[in-house]
Amino acid sequence: MSNAALLSVEDVAVDLPTARGNLRAVDRVDLALGAGKTLGIVGESGCGKTMLSRAILQLLPKKAKLTGRVMFDGQDLARCSAETLRKLRARSLAVVFQDPMTSLNPVLTVGTQLIETLQEHLELDALSARRRSVELLAAVGIPAPEQRLTQYPHQLSGGMRQRVAIAIALSCEPKLLIADEPTTALDVTIQAQILDLLAREQKRRQMAMILITHDLGVVAGRTDEVAVMYAGRVVERAPTQILFKQMHMPYTEALLAAIPKLDTAPHTPLPAISGRPPDPTRPLKGCSFAPRCRYAASRCEAEKPLLASAETASHQYACFHPIKLAAGVGA
C-alpha cells in the first residue's frame, strides 16, 4: 500500500450493544484507498458493509462504539471535533444511499435540495447555484433538468431519484464518494446506467469511490480493488482482476458460484450457500465461515485464520485451506 492513500481504515471495529449482548458489526478491518481509485466491498446482507461505510463517515448510531483509526487525507476522522468533521464531510466526502425513495427529503423540491446544498458548500449566489444545478442534473443524465428543479421527489421515478441523489452527492466535488448499494433498489436495466454514470463521473472528477454491493457482478468491471466481507471481517482482498482469476477464499468462490449464469440449462438449481451467517452476538472461536464451508477441517473450527498475503502483497485472504483455482479447475 502506498503511503499517500487518501483513505486508510486501520484496525477498525464497530461494536453495537444490543439486548442480546454485544454485536460486533465490523471486526478489525484494514483497508486503504488511493485518490481516484475504486474499491468494491462485497458481502451478503448483514456482513457489516454498511456499518463499515458509516464508520468511515462517522455516522454510526449513537450507541455504537468505534475503535481503530480512520485516516482520511491525513486526519483521523474518529478523533476529529464535530465541527472539523462537518466541514470535512461538506467538502470532501459524499454518500449515495441504497434507497433513493428515502434519501431525498419528500417535502422539498429537487431544486431546493440541490440549490441549497450548492449555496451552502460553494457559496454561490442563488442564480449561479441554479445554473450549476441544471448543469449537474444534465450531467447525471436527467432530461429537461430545468423542469425537474420544480418537482418533488415523489414525482420522479426510482432511477431519476437516484440520479438526483448522485447529483447532490457530486455537488460539492468530493474527494471520496461512498456508494452504499446504489443500485439495489433499482431495476436491472437502470442499474447498469447508474453504475456507468458513477464510473464516468468518478473518472472525470478524479475522485475515489467505495462501491458497496452484494453483487460480485457489479464490482467486476468497475473497481480497481475488491474486498470481500463476511461476518464483519474482510476475508479476501485483491485487485479486481486477480480476484476473479484466482480467488483463494472459499466464500468468494461460493459467492461467485451463486450468480445466475446465462449459459446454464434452464431449471438448473442455483448453487446457493447453505446455512446462514453466524449470529454476530456470539462470535465463533474459529473461522466464521467454517460451518458453511465445504473445505472446512477441524483446524478451521478451533482457530481464526488471519489475513495473509498470497502471491502478491496486494492479494490477501484469511483461510487455512485456500483454493487453488488455477490448478483446481480440472480436478
- Residues in contact with another protein by CB under 8 A are 57, 59, 62, 86-91, 93-95, 97-99, 101-108, 116-117, 120-121, 143-144, 147, 150-151, 153-155, 165, 168-169, 171-172
Q: Which is nearer to another protein, 165 or 195 (CB)?
A: 165
Question: Which residues are 23's β-sheet partners?
Answer: 16
**Type of residue found at 20:** R
How far is Cα 38 from Cα 35, in angstroms, rounded to an integer? 9
Q: Which is nearer to another protein, 162 or 246 (CB)?
A: 162
Q: Which is nearer to another protein, 108 or 302 (CB)?
A: 108
CB of 34 to another protein, least distance (A): 22
CB of 41 to another protein, least distance (A): 17
CB of 84 to another protein, least distance (A): 11
How far is Cα 108 from Cα 184, in angstroms, rounded to an integer? 24
CB of 73 to another protein, least distance (A): 15
CB of 177 to another protein, least distance (A): 11
Q: Which is nearer to another protein, 54 or 248 (CB)?
A: 54
CB of 313 to another protein, least distance (A): 33
**Three-state DSSP class for residue 95:** strand
Q: Which is nearer to another protein, 136 or 296 (CB)?
A: 136
CB of 23 to another protein, least distance (A): 18
Q: Which is nearer to another protein, 89 or 237 (CB)?
A: 89
How far is Cα 74 from Cα 63, in angstroms, rounded to an integer? 27
Q: Which is nearer to another protein, 153 or 277 (CB)?
A: 153
CB of 71 to another protein, least distance (A): 19
- Enumerate helices (H) and strands (E) in the chain, giving the number of each: 13, 12
Q: Which is nearer to another protein, 57 or 228 (CB)?
A: 57
317 closest CA partner among 255, 188, 258, 229 = 229
- Report residue 7: phi and psi, to 5°: -125, 130
In sequence order, the 6+-apart residues with CB closer than 8 A to the CB of 14 are: 24, 25, 26, 48, 51, 52, 54, 55, 60, 64, 65, 66, 232
C-beta neighbour count of 276 within 10 angstroms: 10
